[in-house]
Amino acid sequence: MTEAILTASHLTKQFVTRGDGAFIAGTTTFTAVDDVSFEVPRGGTLGIVGESGSGKSTTARIVAKLIDPTSGTLEFDGVDVTRAGAKALAAFRSNVQVVFQDPFSSLNPRHTVEKIITAPLDYQRIAPKGGTRALVRELLERVGLNPDHAQRYPAQFSGGQAQRIGIARALAVSPKLVICDEAVSALDVSVQAKVITLLTSLQAELGLSYVFIAHDLAVVRQIADTVAVMSRGRIVEQGDRDAVFERPQHEYTKALLAAVPKIDPEWELRRARMLAEEGAGA
Amino acid sequence: MSLASPRTISIPVPGATLLEVEHLTVTFPTSAGPVDVVKDASFRVESGDTLGIVGESGSGKSMTSLAIMGLLPRGGTATGSIRLNGHELLGRSDREMRRVRGDKVAMVFQDPLSSLNPYYTVGLQIEEAYRAHNGGSRKNARNVTIEALERVRIADAARRVDHYPHQFSGGMRQRIMIAMALCLEPDLLIADEPTTALDVTVQAQILELLADLQRETGTGMIFITHDLAVVSQVAQDVLVMKDGAHVESGTAEQIFSNPRAPYTRALLEALPRIVDPFDELKGLSR
């Protein structure tokens, strides 16, 4: 196993809901994340899969330090950041960035692309060496957008392009770890494939590590090196991608894999042969 | 059989043409002139069969179904021909179309929570839909409702009928929507992304339920989805759409084993897979 860039140990998050004063008395405690431990391989991708209510998004928010865990520890790059103060948190934020699900609701519609992409830099008071303009151009080019479109607004882009802007913003502070929370779920399948290809090539170029959270098992299979399967706040199974997908041990993982709709393998095989023959003929 | 009669008992003949759409074009006026969101679409649905319409966002798949229902958003106009059991639907008055909807064609939408009124029990909502079309006593409507809930496999239906939408899970709510559609015994059911908002294990249950109900009732179905794998499981015939235009149509087997249009091939290529069937062949050819 390669060295871990992020280590989560026994993370637990409980939410306390107060009674409504009329029908429900007292308080109830809900454990959204229950004793969860995992490692993110440096330069690799940890995929977290689960259905709604599995606790995967709460886990993502803990790892991004948007919320604090009730107990457990989070270690980034060898440093315990669980109770990081303002200064340590600022350093953490320049190393860890998030790409969210809905590109349009996570981009300010009144800001230009340039302003959106440089917001993390302003927030952290970082002045890029070659100037902001040059950095924005470079980032747009890197994510496959036209660098001349820096002064445009989010509404002028398609969903896939908007998600590329979200990725460019995450890359602005040169992070080591990017958390993708259902980052391709809202996209059409052909667009989704392109964004996944982009994420993979950025990882190779920049040595990024990813936490890739998704409900779609097939998408996780494409991008993850290691996989954790969550159900009801717990990790029921985790390990090497191929091991989890090809030799699932836990009943829940098996049920989840069985439920994924698949195209008749015979049809697929016939198409593959047809394409291979056409390729040979061309 | 006539569309105007309030209730005709029709026993669907398997394989008989139920819906015939020819040269359907849907147009919306914009500041830059009229835009065709559906361009010259033609297809048919046989009784007891399922036609899958697949496409990405903006392909016109949902507008096609709204045109059939006579529910196009304001400003939209449909031309061409939509015939249900041989009767033309285009050009009918709102009043006539209200009869067609529910009695002849029912629809299930993507998001069951926003399709149900949170202030009324699910029973009341199904009863209301039933009585609006069939009249009869409340008692009868209630019995029909409980029966419909039982048909969609909701356990303890006699008690659950008095529960509110928020007391059901997403999958259960979608079952309620299906019960509401089916208690009117429509000839055609249009399901627009009915499982897209659901978890994959729940999706599998709903797909199975729809297939079972179709076997029991012989209803024709149009299943609209962006998900190729889902369509391959539910549909006998498939229509692929892009930018409002017909790309390719045929049996599911043809589309998935021998796609002719480059766009269909690209869509199939882009589909992420749990098991990659091309791995082996790729290995051989390289």
- Residue pLDDT, tens place only, B191-219: 999 998 889 999 999 999 999 999 888 99
What average pLDDT score do residues A189-201 get?
A: 91
Q: Which amino acid is at B212?
A: D
Q: Which residues of B touch A192 (CB under 8 A)?
A: 270, 272
Nearest by CB to B201, from A193, A256, A265: name it.
A256
Residue B282 reports pLDDT greater than 80: no
Residue A255 reports pLDDT greater than 60: yes
Q: Indicate the average pLDDT of chain B.
A: 89
User: In 10 A of CB B168, how many CB atoms?
Assistant: 19
3-state secondary structure of A101: coil
Contact B271 A270 (CB under 8 A): no
Of the candidates B186, B48, B168, B194, the one whose C-alpha atom is nearest the C-alpha of residue B130 is B186
The residue written with tokens 């390289």 in the block is: B286
**Which DSSP category does A155 fall into?**
G
Contact A218 B201 (CB under 8 A): no
User: According to the model, what pLDDT value does residue B16 have?
Assistant: 81
Residue B7 reports pLDDT greater than 50: no
What average pLDDT score do residues A207-211 get?
A: 96
Confidence of residue B46 (pLDDT cuts 50, 70, 90): very high
Q: Which residues of A touch B285 (CB under 8 A)?
A: 276, 279-280
Q: Are B124 and B207 in contact (CB under 8 A)?
A: no
User: According to the model, what pLDDT value does residue A1 have?
Assistant: 47
Residue B283 reports pLDDT greater than 50: no
User: According to the model, what pLDDT value does residue B58 have?
Assistant: 87
Give the list of residues 6+ apart from residue B255 with CB closer than 8 angstroms, or none.
B238, B240, B248, B249, B264
Q: Indicate the average pLDDT of chain A.
A: 91
3-state secondary structure of A188: coil
- Residue pLDDT, tens place only, B229-249: 999 999 999 999 999 999 999
Confidence of residue B111 (pLDDT cuts 50, 70, 90): confident
> CA-nearest residue of chain A to B170?
A52
- Residue pLDDT, tens place only, B154-187: 999 999 999 999 999 888 999 999 999 989 899 9
Quote the CA–CA distance of A34 and A19 in Å, as a whole number.
Answer: 23
* Helices and strands: H and E segment counts in chain B: 12, 10
Chain A to chain B, count of Cβ pairs less than 8 Å apart? 114
User: According to the model, what pLDDT value does residue B6 have?
Assistant: 43
User: According to the model, what pLDDT value does residue B9 have?
Assistant: 45
Chain center to CA of B268: 22
Percentage of residues in chain B having pLDDT higher than 90:
71
Contact A267 B170 (CB under 8 A): no
Residue B13 reports pLDDT greater than 50: yes
Q: Which residues of A touch B277 (CB under 8 A)?
A: 265, 268-269, 272
Confidence of residue A2 (pLDDT cuts 50, 70, 90): low
Helices (H), A172-240: 189-206, 217-223
DSSP string for residues in B118-144: TTS-HHHHHHHHHHHHH---HHHHHHH
Upper half-sphere CA count for residue B49 (Cβ side, 13 Å): 19
Nearest by CB to A272, from B200, B266, B281: name it.
B281
**Which DSSP category does A157 fall into?**
S
> CA-nearest residue of chain B to A245?
B274
A109-139 b/e (C-beta count within 10 Å ≥ 16 → b):
eeebbbbbbbebbeeeeeebeeebeebbbeb
**Which DSSP category does B4 fall into?**
S
- Interface test with chain A among B59, B110, B199, B200, by most A beta carbons within 10 Å: B200
Nearest by CB to B204, from A192, A259, A274: name it.
A259
Tell me if chain A has a CB within 8 Å of the CB of B278.
yes
Quote the CA–CA distance of B141 and B147 in Å, as a whole number.
Answer: 10
Sheet of strand A209-214, all strands in order from the earlier edge strand to the far edge: A96-99, A177-181, A209-214, A45-49, A226-231, A234-240
Quote the CA–CA distance of B249 and B240 in Å, as a whole number.
Answer: 6
- Residue pLDDT, tens place only, A136-145: 999 999 999 9
Quote the CA–CA distance of B268 and B256 in Å, as a whole number.
Answer: 8
Model pTM?
A: 0.85
End-to-end CA distance of chain B: 61
B266's tokens: 């690209």
Contact A263 B256 (CB under 8 A): yes
Quote the CA–CA distance of A88 and A92 in Å, as a whole number.
Answer: 6
User: According to the model, what pLDDT value does residue A209 have?
Assistant: 97
**Which runs of E-coded beta strand occur in chain A?**
4-18, 27-41, 45-49, 71-76, 79-80, 96-99, 177-181, 209-214, 226-231, 234-240
Q: Which residues pair with B85 in a beta bridge?
A: none
Upper half-sphere CA count for residue A25 (Cβ side, 13 Å): 0
- Interface test with chain B among A190, A268, A273, A274, by most B beta carbons within 10 Å: A268
- Interface test with chain B among A163, A230, A271, by most B beta carbons within 10 Å: A271
Chain center to CA of A217: 14
Q: Are B230 and B203 in contact (CB under 8 A)?
A: yes
- Residue pLDDT, tens place only, A78-129: 999 999 888 899 899 999 999 988 888 889 999 999 999 999 998 888 888 8
- Residue pLDDT, tens place only, A133-183: 999 999 999 999 999 999 999 999 988 899 999 999 999 999 999 999 999
Contact B270 A261 (CB under 8 A): no
**Which DSSP category does A260 fall into?**
S
Nearest by CB to A218, from B57, B274, B284: name it.
B274
Q: Which residues of B touch A189 (CB under 8 A)?
A: 56, 226-228, 267, 270-272
A-side interface with B, Cβ within 8 Å? Answer: 51-52, 159, 188-193, 196, 215-219, 221-222, 245, 255-276, 279-280
Confidence of residue B1 (pLDDT cuts 50, 70, 90): very low
